[in-house]
A and B are shown apart, each in its own frame.
Chain A
Amino acid sequence: MDVLSLFPAWLLEHGAAFAIVLPLLMGAITAILPSRTLAWWTAFIVTLVVTVTSFGLVLNMLSEGATIYSMGGWDPPHGISLVVDALSAPVLLLISAMAVLTVVYGMPATVAEVEPKKRAPFYAAFLICFAGLMGMVVTGDAFNVFVFLEVSSISTYALVAMGSARDRRALTASYNYLIMGSIGATFFVIGLGFLYMETGTLNMADMARILADLDGGSRVAKVAFGFIIVGLGLKLAMFPLHTWLPGAYAYAPSMMTIFLASTATKAALYLLLRFSFTIFDPSFDYVGVLMKYLLVGVGIVGMIFASLQAIFQTDVRRTLAFSSVAQVGYMLLGVGLATAAGLAAGYLHLLNHAIIKGGLFLALGAFWYRFGITRIDDFEGLSKTMPLTMAAFTVSALSLIGVPFTAGFVSKVNLATAAADKGWWWAVGVIVVTSVLAIIYMGRILLLAYFGDAPEIDGEKAKRNEAPLMMLVPMWVLAIMSIAIGSNIFNLGDNFVGAAEAAARLLLGGGA
């Protein structure tokens, strides 16, 4: 069946712009909506429509190839262009799909976590953050990237701070994130400034052409690249610039944690790929060297250190947050390999990790929702009191560890193969060791949940108290996705690997 023909032509033509403008506009309207239910419905419908649009864009990209949309009819390089290609389309779909799932989950969760009068603004900020992330990914204009980066970041700071109704530490976490995020954004925009100085254009394609003509450009381009990498590195929680992340993940409202963990760092990583491969080029000496030594170096160190740190945490949210930092290390390793296989593995891990971590944080939010649980010690006997939620958590945890027939296995094996192909056997060793560390930090939680007895409350065993359906559905969607990718059910695994390989081909200049 030709799904693509079901989409109206105007949606496919203007879809790229539509996916940013709709949430941005509706965000403004949502802010002044009187009722929280109405706000939720708005957010839900907007994210759903955008997801459908992204899906259409992906299909369109697959059949027609990359499309470049000129904003307001102004052709690039003077106007702003929106680019939907093999690299950006899957990330667009990922972000919007995760947004729908988190909004579905958010219905019960926000009731518990956000003050009543702040709920409409909460959804508004969420929509704006969502619009910013979509914009970061789809835009073809370098300065526009900065604008959308700030749009998403500023709304994220506010959203993290809203966790203060649950835990006052959210305020410091948010402040910390604000300072760090601003530094990152500043570095990024300084880098852009240098780049503009060197090339005299802000359009990405144009920049790439001019830089190639200049054969990498002068020292200014080098400095620009350094600033951009460090700025983005901060945004994507590259070790040791990740210090904002555990706090932000741990104390934000759980809906926001899910969304942040599965999209925000991913969008930043996407930008890293975009900048270092399609604007700059690894064939420039300084780019290749920086990727080989800095990205791989911090990736490897981050994998080990963050995994160790995850082991010793007492708060599950922080365990998962550190594990995220470690997983970013995997992706950086894939990027640093700079081979087709390595890039594909890194990109695939980007997609898979969003699904895995999203599932884990969803389940974690449900545990908090029912029992107020965030500490590992409190997991004792959770498999008896919340069996379905715990089962979903387990599936995602196994996937994070990289057990065969799960998504995590596919991307880790691809990454290890890519490293081995390049002869980096030590990297294979590090992957194995950190996977063992992952077994320890996730296994510790699972052991308690499955082999511990349910705690006694007032002399009675805690009763079974399953998470509400609106939490169970998104969490199982992600858990089943994990398995489907790993076992290639519905060809999902092949499609993901195929998308990653297409992205890698595009990055290495082989066309979409």
Chain B
Amino acid sequence: MIDILQINPGLWIILAGIICAFMPVGHVRKTLVLLAPLFAGVMIFQIYGAQEVIGGVINYAGIEFTTLRIDRLSMIWGYLFCLAGVLNAIYALHEKCRITDSSALIYTGAAIAGVFAGDLLTLFIFWELTALSSVFLVWKGGERSYAAGLRYLAVHVFSGVLLLAGAIVYGRANGGDFTFGHIGLDSPGGLMLLLAMGIKCGFPLFHNWIQDAYPKASITGTVILSVFTTKLALYAIARGFAGEDILIYIGAVMAVFPVFFAVIENDLRRVLAYSLNNQLGFMVCAIGIGTPLAMNGVAGQVITHVIFKGLLFMTMGAVMFRTGTAKASELGGLFRSMPFTTVFCLIGAGSIAAFPLLAAFVTKSMILSAALEEHLYIPLAMLLFASAGVMEHSGIKVPYFTFFSHDSGRRVKEAPWNMLTAMGLASLLCIVFAFPFGGYQLLYSLLPYEVNYHPYTPDHVIFQLQLLFAAITAFCVLKKYGLYPSEKRAEVIDFDWTYRKLGLGIARWIGAMWTRLSVNMTGVRKTCVDGMGKKLYQIFSPAGAMSAAAPSGLAAVLTAGMLVIALLIMFIT
């Protein structure tokens, strides 16, 4: 009998997803989508007490797979993913689509199972499964998303292959031990692993798949996608590479560069995708710092981040659901017709910008303080700039152009009740997790290390407000004098130009050249290949020299010859 507590909780959700794939009744599916993450959360609670739990050890082909490992770090991600699963389920209640339901469940389950994987090979399996299951969410976005989905899949499968290769190299170097603990960069396997995780986490120059695929997915798809993939990768980096100095700078760059793109981008979901990147940069940087305070900051930030980022994507989804677009140039003045959504969006925007009393304030301050304590002034400056940038594009731009700005003349209904519920819950959590009296202490109780950090000191609050108001002022001034990049219908292309335009161009050129070459070379090639084929055929075919029915006499001579050779070999040596 298998002990139920030995089973990775993510597998329950995957199971529910598989059932969903064959379940024609919509209500049953929706119930499953809602209950499966709840159930997984309960299972985590049952399994995890206070100590690290290791279980579900399977031996296959001489390799030990540890399919369940829950400790203080993975526990946070596990609960968080379950919570996000429930919120997403509520948000998507109105949608009647079997593919979305089942792939969302499998995707959620794979992410949870990946977080609880105790060894690199199990991680690899779920790593690939998240990619394979989530690509359907991208494809649900319509015709435009097909190519983006393929690119998304290619990037993730590549990342998975790299992860597997790295795991094998790393495991070999460690004498066949694939345990997923601290890995470090001092081995070639470690480098490959970091690269694989970095691709999935959206490191600079590998980030394009996020802005490419997420805005093109379906409305609910984007909300679901925004939670899991990058956070799974972040968890892997936090577990394997905490305290690696190079991550500090990677993270800082990652936090800064999306600001520029986000400011000029027109598609608001794409803006959010850039700000997702920016937020991940904060966390990667904090992982690089690696002190207990920084790691607490990462854990806290990831919790709040999933909630407020989900919230923002949800509000944009709601707007898109009602208006059919998420382009800044086509929106505006929606606060009249969608008042609740506006409020929720403002809460989300305030959270991401780290307004005091809203979610990210506590955790972002922790990260900044950690950088300060380690005297990392340059990264600190970059992070501060990025904070201001976040305020600029996510905190102001998104709500401003959607709900205020010039009136687009659209009069639509308020978002459906289920979306409002999901957004309301998320907003509530945003406020709770930063509430000075018992709120952020609740958050603290989840963090991996002892927390001794007080966010609501006057200097913190004032400093943060200064920063934010400076950003608001800048926005106002630029807007007033018409210097702010106005919303234009354009597709911003950054580094993905290399493969979407240049790569395609090169591929086309090679294709054309190859055609020409092959036309010219046909004659030569034909003679060569045919000549070779003929030679082989002449020797080996039934009509060929080798197959001429050997007369018994010849065979007998051969046998004698073999004997002579045998004797010669024996006597000479």
Q: Which of B550, B563, B571 contacts A243 (CB 8 A)?
A: B550
User: For B555, what are the chain A residues with a Cβ–Cβ distance below 8 Å?
Assistant: 176, 179-180, 183, 241, 243-244
User: For A180, what are the chain B residues with a Cβ–Cβ distance below 8 Å?
Assistant: 552, 555-556, 559
User: For A183, what are the chain B residues with a Cβ–Cβ distance below 8 Å?
Assistant: 555-556, 559
Contact A290 B559, beta carbon cutoff 8 Å = no
Q: Which of B537, B547, B562 contacts A241 (CB 8 A)?
A: B562
Contact B542 A318, beta carbon cutoff 8 Å = yes
Give chain B nearest CB distance to A85 CB in angstroms. 28
- Taking the complex as formed, is B540 at the interface, i.e. its CB lies under 8 A from any CB of chain A? yes
- Taking the complex as formed, is A309 at the interface, i.e. its CB lies under 8 A from any CB of chain B? yes
- Chain A's closest residue to B60 (CB) is A488
User: For A309, what are the chain B residues with a Cβ–Cβ distance below 8 Å?
Assistant: 540, 546-547
- Chain B's closest residue to A314 (CB) is B542
- Chain B's closest residue to A246 (CB) is B547
- Taking the complex as formed, is A311 at the interface, i.e. its CB lies under 8 A from any CB of chain B? yes
Contact A223 B542, beta carbon cutoff 8 Å = no
Q: How large is the interface on A (under 10, 10 to 19, 20 to 34, 35 or more residues)?
A: 35 or more
- Taking the complex as formed, is A294 at the interface, i.e. its CB lies under 8 A from any CB of chain B? yes
Using a CB–CB cutoff of 8 Å, the interface residues on chain B facing chain A are: 61, 536-537, 539-542, 544, 546-547, 549-550, 552, 555-556, 558-559, 562-563, 565-567, 569-571, 573
Contact B541 A286, beta carbon cutoff 8 Å = no
- Taking the complex as formed, is A326 at the interface, i.e. its CB lies under 8 A from any CB of chain B? no
Contact A312 B563, beta carbon cutoff 8 Å = no
- Taking the complex as formed, is A454 at the interface, i.e. its CB lies under 8 A from any CB of chain B? no
Give chain B nearest CB distance to A324 CB in angstroms. 15
Q: Which of B540, B542, B558, B573 has the most CB of A within 10 A?
A: B540
- Taking the complex as formed, is A227 at the interface, i.e. its CB lies under 8 A from any CB of chain B? yes
Give chain B nearest CB distance to A311 CB in angstroms. 7
- Chain A's closest residue to B533 (CB) is A312
What are 29 sample pairs from A and B whose C-beta atoms fall under 8 A apart?
A: A176-B549, A176-B555, A180-B552, A183-B555, A183-B559, A219-B571, A222-B567, A226-B566, A226-B567, A226-B570, A230-B559, A230-B562, A230-B566, A241-B558, A241-B559, A241-B562, A243-B558, A247-B549, A289-B569, A289-B570, A290-B566, A290-B570, A294-B569, A305-B540, A305-B546, A309-B547, A312-B537, A312-B542, A313-B542
Contact B552 A293, beta carbon cutoff 8 Å = no
**Complex: A223 Cα to B568 Cα, angstroms:** 10
Contact B569 A222, beta carbon cutoff 8 Å = no
**Complex: A230 Cα to B562 Cα, angstroms:** 7
- Taking the complex as formed, is A467 at the interface, i.e. its CB lies under 8 A from any CB of chain B? no
- Chain A's closest residue to B550 (CB) is A243
- Chain B's closest residue to A238 (CB) is B562
Give chain B nearest CB distance to A432 CB in angstroms. 19
Known: A289-B569, A311-B540. A234 touches B559 (CB 8 A): yes
- Chain B's closest residue to A288 (CB) is B573
- Chain A's closest residue to B572 (CB) is A289
**Complex: A311 Cα to B536 Cα, angstroms:** 10
User: For B541, what are the chain A residues with a Cβ–Cβ distance below 8 Å?
Assistant: 312-313
- Chain B's closest residue to A169 (CB) is B549
Given A183-B556, A315-B542, 5 more A-B residue pairs with CB atoms under 8 Å apart are: A180-B556, A226-B563, A230-B559, A289-B570, A309-B540
User: For B558, what are the chain A residues with a Cβ–Cβ distance below 8 Å?
Assistant: 240-241, 243
**Complex: A453 Cα to B571 Cα, angstroms:** 59
**Complex: A179 Cα to B549 Cα, angstroms:** 14
Q: Which of A222, A230, A240, A305 contacts B571 (CB 8 A)?
A: A222
**Complex: A194 Cα to B559 Cα, angstroms:** 18
- Taking the complex as formed, is A259 at the interface, i.e. its CB lies under 8 A from any CB of chain B? no
- Chain A's closest residue to B571 (CB) is A222
Give chain B nearest CB distance to A104 CB in angstroms. 32
Known: A240-B558, A244-B555, A315-B542. A289 touches B573 (CB 8 A): yes
User: For B569, what are the chain A residues with a Cβ–Cβ distance below 8 Å?
Assistant: 289-290, 293-294
**Complex: A230 Cα to B540 Cα, angstroms:** 24
- Taking the complex as formed, is A233 at the interface, i.e. its CB lies under 8 A from any CB of chain B? yes
> Which 6 pairs show the lowest CB-CB distances between chains A and B?
A312-B541, A286-B570, A179-B552, A243-B550, A226-B566, A312-B540
**Residues 293-337 of A contacting B (Cβ, < 8 Å):** 293-294, 305, 308-309, 311-315, 318
Give chain B nearest CB distance to A230 CB in angstroms. 5
**Residues 222-237 of A contacting B (Cβ, < 8 Å):** 222-223, 225-227, 229-230, 233-234
- Taking the complex as formed, is A167 at the interface, i.e. its CB lies under 8 A from any CB of chain B? no
User: For B571, what are the chain A residues with a Cβ–Cβ distance below 8 Å?
Assistant: 219, 222, 286
Give chain B nearest CB distance to A161 CB in angstroms. 15
User: For A227, what are the chain B residues with a Cβ–Cβ distance below 8 Å?
Assistant: 563
- Taking the complex as formed, is A157 at the interface, i.e. its CB lies under 8 A from any CB of chain B? no
Known: A176-B552, A241-B558. A187 touches B563 (CB 8 A): yes
- Chain A's closest residue to B537 (CB) is A312
**Complex: A225 Cα to B571 Cα, angstroms:** 12
User: For B544, what are the chain A residues with a Cβ–Cβ distance below 8 Å?
Assistant: 312
User: For A286, what are the chain B residues with a Cβ–Cβ distance below 8 Å?
Assistant: 570-571, 573
- Taking the complex as formed, is A285 at the interface, i.e. its CB lies under 8 A from any CB of chain B? yes
**Complex: A314 Cα to B573 Cα, angstroms:** 43
User: For A172, what are the chain B residues with a Cβ–Cβ distance below 8 Å?
Assistant: 549
**Residues 346-367 of A contacting B (Cβ, < 8 Å):** none
Give chain A nearest CB distance to B544 CB in angstroms. 7
Known: A247-B549, A305-B546. A179 touches B556 (CB 8 A): yes
- Chain A's closest residue to B561 (CB) is A240
User: For B547, what are the chain A residues with a Cβ–Cβ distance below 8 Å?
Assistant: 309
Contact A225 B559, beta carbon cutoff 8 Å = no
Q: Which of B547, B559, B571 has the most CB of A within 10 A?
A: B559
Give chain B nearest CB distance to A211 CB in angstroms. 15
User: For B562, what are the chain A residues with a Cβ–Cβ distance below 8 Å?
Assistant: 230, 233, 240-241
**Residues 184-231 of A contacting B (Cβ, < 8 Å):** 184, 187, 219, 222-223, 225-227, 229-230
Contact A294 B566, beta carbon cutoff 8 Å = yes
Give chain A nearest CB distance to B556 CB in angstroms. 6
Contact A308 B540, beta carbon cutoff 8 Å = yes
- Chain B's closest residue to A289 (CB) is B573
**Complex: A162 Cα to B556 Cα, angstroms:** 24
User: For A223, what are the chain B residues with a Cβ–Cβ distance below 8 Å?
Assistant: 567
**Complex: A179 Cα to B552 Cα, angstroms:** 7
Known: A244-B555, A309-B547. A294 touches B565 (CB 8 A): yes
User: For A226, what are the chain B residues with a Cβ–Cβ distance below 8 Å?
Assistant: 563, 566-567, 570
- Chain B's closest residue to A176 (CB) is B552
User: For A187, what are the chain B residues with a Cβ–Cβ distance below 8 Å?
Assistant: 559, 563
**Complex: A311 Cα to B532 Cα, angstroms:** 14
User: For A229, what are the chain B residues with a Cβ–Cβ distance below 8 Å?
Assistant: 566
Q: Which of B536, B549, B552, B565 contacts A312 (CB 8 A)?
A: B536
Give chain A nearest CB distance to B246 CB in angstroms. 36
**Complex: A184 Cα to B560 Cα, angstroms:** 10
- Chain B's closest residue to A186 (CB) is B559
**Complex: A260 Cα to B429 Cα, angstroms:** 76
User: For A313, what are the chain B residues with a Cβ–Cβ distance below 8 Å?
Assistant: 541-542
Give chain A nearest CB distance to B102 CB in angstroms. 27
